[in-house]
Chain A
């Protein structure tokens, strides 16, 4: 008799745990299904990290191959070459990918993030309200949610991009530039928003406060999504179970994020409990949810569609995109519908 390897034992244990947790028969099947998940180090993708650490993917009969990316746009080539199956990314890169014909579709919502992106400024910048940024050096990364937020905020206080010194800065150079005083402030997402505050910065306004909050969506390669319904269902189930961990034991969920991303426990807790929220699949189906994927919301251009279309229009006005696509075709809601027993 051959010995079982450590991995096999773990997989068997996971499958057994899965059967126990779910009490369902089909997940106890020995053969687990393979899925390649593209992930990126963003605190807003919390459920992915929780599901990995808690063994929820394994428990649902999934054998996950994680593939790391540093930001959403990096997934595009991977979807085109079919080197990943699914992944999560912010709404702005999802808009760009869909508009540029990358074969990908949105099939679920990961989170809604009204507070986990903000304008943070240096204390000596003389900025205390949004209006004060006139004439100051403000940074963000073009094409990101931060870019969209900054320009929307400018419009809100009657300013344009030419009223500030705009600096296109990648997160890799942000904290040194902020610490040295090369910039007066920046509009970035977590963990950089928290890092700027930790470096002595002052938070001025969040995306939610100017009414344009986006979030993180789950996307999949279009062909793969059509052919792998069962894997998608299992994935959604695992992600839904991770929601419960975040709401019941945020300290534990935060510790997983700390382990994967090297941020402080305080910052992880702040994002998990205050700045963002992780909806159950059922909540994302409610028509009045901010990023609702209810078919009625989609038909009437509300919820997720509204958020996507507004970002696409913005990119089009910027000249970065030439088309504003029909997003309804890029959202596949049937798997969430099946999971929660609703009508797609």
Chain B
């Protein structure tokens, strides 16, 4: 596929490199960026800026969303109050929140991290509460009949049963966090892969745009794979009821 791509662009010029950069062109640009950086900032600094923001926002969201989601799943009153609010917020694109975020949190890191936090939080909370609410009634009754108290019930029945759904939420949340970083970096970012893409588009440096897009894709893929490896290790019981 790469060979065909190279042939169509650099090789035969069937597709102008103004539309689709050639693989060799992108690779050369990548090496150049590694050597000289982008806009005075080394490439690794753009990478760590984006990754740092994403992971901070994501981990915070997991820490808050799992307890809130569990509470929502266990308590129908809490669910009735919070669920409509979260459902209302979920379809709002992160980019639409930018002016409000700047007003609330300023142009520093907080506003960017909060955009990522919010996007991920809404997915983790949804999956967690659904996971708890859809546990078969019989499973819970059986545990109660066997004499489980509230803590035991939660620890040995509810949490493990909701875990696969929580994990799905965490995976979606991570993908969303990484995708949202580009939007978050429109908020007065001075570095980051999203910033790099946006700035390169301003100057129509199309090879830099492609390098940024590919890096984001590859890193996203790697992050997803890491989380799945963790899932296999932690949740050996999934799918074996």
Nearest Cβ on chain A to B202's Cβ, whole angstroms: 4
Q: How far is the CA of A97 from the CA of B202 in the complex (A)?
A: 9
Q: Which residues of A contact B16 (CB under 8 A)?
A: 80
Report if A173 contacts B (CB, 8 A): yes
Take A168-B188, A168-B190 as given contacts and tell me if A180 and B106 are in contact as well, using a CB distance cutoff of 8 Å: yes
Q: How far is the CB of B158 from chain A (nearest CB, A)?
A: 43
Q: Is A73 touching B103 in the complex (CB atoms < 8 A)?
A: no
- Chain A residues within 8 Å of B98, by CB: 172-173
B residues at A contact (CB < 8 Å): 16, 18-19, 39-40, 98-100, 102-103, 106-108, 186-190, 195, 199, 201-206
Residue from B18, B39, B99, B189 in contact with A172 in the complex, judged by beta carbons closer than 8 Å? B99
Task: Mark out the residues of chain A between 157 and 180 whose CB falls within 8 Å of any chain B CB in the assembled complex.
Answer: 167-170, 172-173, 175-177, 179-180
Are B19 and A80 within 8 A (Cβ)? yes
A102 touches B199 (CB 8 A): no
Q: Judge if A223 is at the interface, Cβ distance under 8 Å.
A: no
Residues of A participating in the B interface, judged by any CB pair closer than 8 Å? 73, 76, 80-81, 96-97, 100-102, 139, 141-143, 167-170, 172-173, 175-177, 179-180, 182-183, 315, 319-321
Residues of A within 8 A of B107 (CB): 167, 169, 173, 177, 182-183
Contacts of A315 in B (CB 8 A): 203
Contacts A168-B190, A177-B106, A182-B107 given; does A97 touch B204 at CB 8 Å: yes
How far is the CB of B104 from the nearest CB of chain A, in Å?
9
**Inter-subunit contact B99/A176 (CB<8 Å):** yes
Give A169 to B187 CA distance when docked, in angstroms: 7
List chain B residues, Cβ under 8 A from A177.
102, 106-107, 188
A102 vs B204: C-alpha distance when bound (angstroms): 9
Closest to A147 in B: B202
CB distance from B18 to the nearest CB of A (A): 5
Docked Cα-Cα span, A93 to B165, in Å, equals 49
| Known interface pairs A81-B19, A101-B18, A182-B188; 5 further A-B residue pairs with C-beta atoms within 8 A, sorted by A's residue number | A73-B203, A143-B203, A172-B186, A177-B102, A320-B205
> Which one of B19, B39, B103, B186 contacts A170 once the chains associate, using CB atoms below 8 Å?
B186
A-B contact pairs, 22 of them (CB 8 A): A73-B202, A76-B204, A80-B19, A81-B19, A96-B203, A100-B203, A101-B18, A139-B188, A143-B199, A143-B202, A168-B190, A168-B195, A168-B199, A170-B188, A172-B99, A177-B102, A177-B106, A177-B188, A180-B102, A319-B40, A320-B203, A321-B203
Given A80-B19, A180-B102, A73 contacting B204 (CB threshold 8 A): yes
Q: Which residues of A contact B18 (CB under 8 A)?
A: 80, 101-102
Q: For residue A170, which residues in chain B have a CB less than 8 angstroms away from its CB?
A: 186, 188
* Residues in chain B near residue A143, CB distance under 8 A: 199, 202-203
Q: Residue among B40, B190, B204 with the most chain A CB within 10 A?
A: B204
Query: Distance in Å from the Cβ of A284 to the closest Cβ of chain B?
Result: 26
Q: Is the CB of A100 within 8 A of B99?
A: no
A180 near B186 with CB under 8 A, answer: no
